Chain A
Amino acid sequence: MTLERNDLLALLPAGLTAATVLAALAWTALRRSAGAVAAVSAAGLALAGGSIALAAGAAPHRVLLLGTDGFSLFFTGVLLALAIAVDLLAAAWLENLAEDREEFHVVLALATLGAVVVVQSRHFATFLLGLETLTVGLYTLLAYPRRQTDALVAGFRYLVLAGASSAILVFGAALLYRETGALELAGMARAAATASSPGAVAGAALFLVGFGFKLALAPFHLWTADVYGGAPAPAAAFVATVSKGAVLAVLLRFVAGASAGEASGLGIALAILAGASMFAGTLLALLARRVKRILAGSSIANLGYLTVGVLSASAVAVRATAFYFVAYAAATVAAFGVVGAVVRPGGDGDGDDLEDFRGLAWRRPAAGAVLGIALLSLAGLPVSAGFLAKVALADAGISASRSTLVLLLVGTSVIGLYPYLRVVATILAPAGSAASAPETASLSRLVLVALALLVLAAGVWPDPFLALIRLSLG
């Protein structure tokens, strides 16, 4: 087959992301310099992000089992932006690490490539390929500080569970394929939504379990708290946003596309997962004593909320879900970024205890303010993006007659306030003796402040963001 000009344009974002991996790797091989490699990957990912404008000119377009259209390009852009933010935050976090630091950035770019391929995949083969590239990258990122037991445990745990969930996903796909002969994702989603024969039902169920693991929807969320708790903060941020965002985009496109209405088994199962996640995540955050575990609970609950948007299935709901994801991801990366700035490797290992954040707002006002804004956004309070995003999502749910789920969303939001507020109350406590915290590197502080400003801007004047989403998603 020959590639035409439009094919090349459509492949440009993914291609440039792949080129970034190679460039970062080559740089590492030639001359070790953590700062330079971080800059190369950030610049490469930014270039890939910029090329979306070119790819958009050729969209919608399909090439090599990948598809580019407004939807996939929008999520590609969001994930690339998140990856850049994590990359820059990671550069600061890694400074105190005794090991070589360059490979973290290389692997991060590789995992991002996997996420981009997942978002653009139209066929199970590309989906699986992207997913495995992403996941293999994640094992490395999670266990990167290899002398820290917590991180190793987190990486290993993720390795076992992600491996198992991939196997389940493939088995489900095989069963669906046996029933319908479809390996195109759209066809598989339709088959799953209308499954009636035992084989198809089993296939759809296994498929859903696989997705549930990747998105950490309850009851498949049990790995989340331990993995986030032990992993380096930037790696946890990556799992919570880029990795979940890629899978969510696929779910949003194909399940909403197959209009899995309330009547279908898939819709009911997904609704149960959504409700369970809201409860489980909120409960986990309530009981947690460590900030990263609170954020893990928050992430589980928020993915439950996002699933309400997936189930509501209208064009309005898809836009609301996209907006909510952006608000959630920006706040989550900012929160993990501050955690990473407070808890550095080489500490006593369990530095993200709530007590370590006591008085943060007075010791390091910028970090405290960013964490406060991020948490208030995750809690859904104005003037942060979380409030309007929650309104938009609940509105979409109600207009799709998903009233029960919306009531659950609201109820768990009220309970979920407590853990966030507890952290905010702690960072506002009078500063204790631990005043000798390392100051955040200026670049990572810039990233954090930019994220916080983004969250505030989208919370007061969301129209530009919504207009962009409308333009992309149609």
Chain B
Amino acid sequence: MILLALVLLPVAGGLLALAARRRAPAVTMASLAAGLAVALGTYAARPGGGRIAEVDLAWIPSLGARIHLAMDGLSLVMVVLTFVVGLLAAASTVAEVRERPGLFHLCLGLCLTGVILVFLAFDLLVLLFAWELMLVPMFLLIRIWGHEERVRAALKFFVYTQAGGLLMLVAVLVLRAIHGRATGEWTFDYDALLGSSPGGAAGMWLFLGFVAAFAVKLPALPVHGWLPDAHTEAPTAGSIVLAGLMLKTGGYGLIRFAVPLFPAAAARAAPWLMGIGAAGVIWGALLAFGQTDLKRLVAYTSVSHLGFVLLGVFALDPAGEQGAVLQMLCHGLSTGGLFFLVGALQERLGTRDIGRMGGFFAGAPAMGGLAVVFALASLGLPGLGNFVAEILSLLGAFRAVPWIGVVATLGLVLSVGYSLRFTGRVFFGRPPESGGPRDLAAGEILWLGGAAALLLFLGLWPAPVIRLLAPALRVVAGG
């Protein structure tokens, strides 16, 4: 029942926000804070071993689908991340969203509900449902409140993700039919379907069906085309949720569903997928270099950072898995923070063009200081969480396929380049004559400071999180 509350809180908050209109941000933040409290409370009251919480209700008996939600360590950290990043996103709307704030927050709440449902789903139909549930509200966020090219970006985002999602749908249905024919039990239940994957080519095709959906969301290299447009054109809160959370559903899906359901196929495909991950690390970083649009720059860094996730997951090694999950957490916080700052800059300056910025540190020290922290996190400075995450991912990769690890390490070097270019160009150099943007408000500093503090915590003392993740990751890496 706690899990149902976690799922429903954001959308309930969104409905209240719809009624509250001008006070919408406060209502959403209250509901998300309540959700965060519930999630942390669940953590504090967790039983010794196994799953922290579970609920299993009848849903569609004639299809054998149940509302089976469960929370283990992995789900817990992802849900906590969802609420934290959701709060960040809601905080960003206070200044930015002036038109139809109620509807905006309803869409935001629906997105978050979809994301949380993905993180808790232990029934594959619930997973598919949640997967598609995220799309429409995000489409609306981009379409209604986005920037110049919003219509095209919204359509592109939708069609890419839906194509992947429907391939997964077919894979799920085939897997269930195979299980059903073998056992007479027609079910979508995750636990029941574990171990019923066919071997050989059939298993590989089904695995690829799942990977298609998750790789588009992650995004992995050839199917990342929707990401720069969607991130650039979305309103700030939309970019934060997209980068901070929706991409994570891809990584989570690989760890929770694709690998455990099809271990043999995953092992065979692993080197190829690691290669794609390493290529993403390099390619994203190179493209980030060339961007003049600040939001686009941050968007491409996501392609690069999420490459580490793919790399870590398919190292199929405990260190790699830990790195992948930590990378998702840290990327959620650091990129969420960066998008927040870019949104604040755009709101103040009316442009995202790097060429028209420079020397803002003098006029806006808080903004500049936080930007430096998030940029340093993004380049993997030791002491911040991203460092731990990337090192663990690379460690896993070195053990699995050394040369891929070597190539991916180059990405660390490149990330130094684009991160320093970003902060250097925008905040340092000659101060503008007009005085530059005004500094962040106290509330904004509070939220961003919180995110930065969490990054520091993950960087200095990741052990509790890693310990929490261990049982779930053992299924994947076998270690």
Q: A: which residues have CB within 8 A of B?
A: 316, 319, 376, 381-383, 387-388, 391-392, 394-395, 398-399, 403, 406-407, 410, 413-414, 417-418, 421-422, 424-425, 428, 461-463, 466-467, 470
Within 8 Å CB of B169, what residues of A? 391, 394, 410
Interface residues of B in 39-63 (CB under 8 A from A): 58-63
Within 8 Å CB of B59, what residues of A? 461, 463
Within 8 Å CB of A376, what residues of B? 136
Within 8 Å CB of A422, what residues of B? 155
Check: B158 CB closer than 8 A to any chain A CB.
Answer: yes
Interface residues of B in 118-153 (CB under 8 A from A): 125, 128-129, 132-133, 135-136, 139-140, 143-144, 151
Within 8 Å CB of A387, what residues of B? 129, 132
B140 to A, closest residue via Cβ: A428
- A376-B59 Cα distance, complex, nearest whole Å: 22
Q: Verify A382–B129 contact, CB threshold 8 A.
A: yes
Task: Provide 7 A-B residue pairs closer than 8 Å at the C-beta atoms, listed in order of the A residue.
Answer: A381-B132, A382-B132, A387-B129, A399-B177, A407-B170, A410-B166, A428-B144
Q: List 5 A-B pairs, minimum CB-CB distance, nearest first.
A: A410-B166, A414-B163, A398-B173, A466-B62, A382-B132
Q: Verify A319–B133 contact, CB threshold 8 A.
A: no
Which one of B60, B128, B177 lies within 8 Å of A466 (CB-CB)? B60
Q: Verify A395–B63 contact, CB threshold 8 A.
A: yes
The size bracket of the interface on B is: 20 to 34
Q: Verify B62–A383 contact, CB threshold 8 A.
A: no
- A467-B58 Cα distance, complex, nearest whole Å: 13
| Interface of B, helix, strand, loop or mixed by DSSP | helix
- A424-B62 Cα distance, complex, nearest whole Å: 32
Q: Verify A383–B155 contact, CB threshold 8 A.
A: no
Within 8 Å CB of A383, what residues of B? 133
Given A398-B170, A410-B166, A425-B154: A388 touches B60 (CB 8 Å cut-off): yes
Within 8 Å CB of B63, what residues of A? 391-392, 395, 466
- A392-B186 Cα distance, complex, nearest whole Å: 12
**Whole-angstrom distance between the Cβ of A13 and the nearest chain B Cβ:** 26
Check: B180 CB closer than 8 A to any chain A CB.
Answer: yes
- A302-B169 Cα distance, complex, nearest whole Å: 18
Which one of A388, A403, A418 lies within 8 Å of B155 (CB-CB)? A418
Within 8 Å CB of A382, what residues of B? 129, 132-133, 136
Q: Verify A462–B60 contact, CB threshold 8 A.
A: yes
- A428-B174 Cα distance, complex, nearest whole Å: 37
Within 8 Å CB of B154, what residues of A? 421, 425
- A422-B154 Cα distance, complex, nearest whole Å: 10
- A392-B135 Cα distance, complex, nearest whole Å: 20
Q: Verify B62–A319 contact, CB threshold 8 A.
A: yes
- A102-B291 Cα distance, complex, nearest whole Å: 65
Which one of A388, A403, A406, A425 lies within 8 Å of B143 (CB-CB)? A425
- A399-B136 Cα distance, complex, nearest whole Å: 29
> A399-B180, A410-B167 provided; 14 other pairs, C-beta below 8 A?
A376-B136, A381-B135, A382-B132, A382-B136, A394-B169, A394-B170, A395-B176, A398-B177, A403-B174, A410-B169, A418-B155, A424-B139, A425-B151, A463-B58
Q: Verify B139–A406 contact, CB threshold 8 A.
A: no
A388 to B, closest residue via Cβ: B60
Check: B446 CB closer than 8 A to any chain A CB.
Answer: no
- A425-B128 Cα distance, complex, nearest whole Å: 24
Q: Verify B155–A421 contact, CB threshold 8 A.
A: yes
- A418-B132 Cα distance, complex, nearest whole Å: 15
- A394-B159 Cα distance, complex, nearest whole Å: 20
Check: B162 CB closer than 8 A to any chain A CB.
Answer: yes
Q: Verify B173–A395 contact, CB threshold 8 A.
A: yes
Given A382-B129, A382-B133: A398 touches B174 (CB 8 Å cut-off): yes
Within 8 Å CB of B144, what residues of A? 428
Within 8 Å CB of B155, what residues of A? 418, 421-422, 425
- A233-B177 Cα distance, complex, nearest whole Å: 41
Within 8 Å CB of B136, what residues of A? 376, 381-382
Most A C-beta atoms less than 10 A away, residue of B58, B170, B180: B170
**Whole-angstrom distance between the Cβ of A396 and the nearest chain B Cβ:** 9
- A463-B173 Cα distance, complex, nearest whole Å: 19
Within 8 Å CB of A414, what residues of B? 159, 162-163, 166
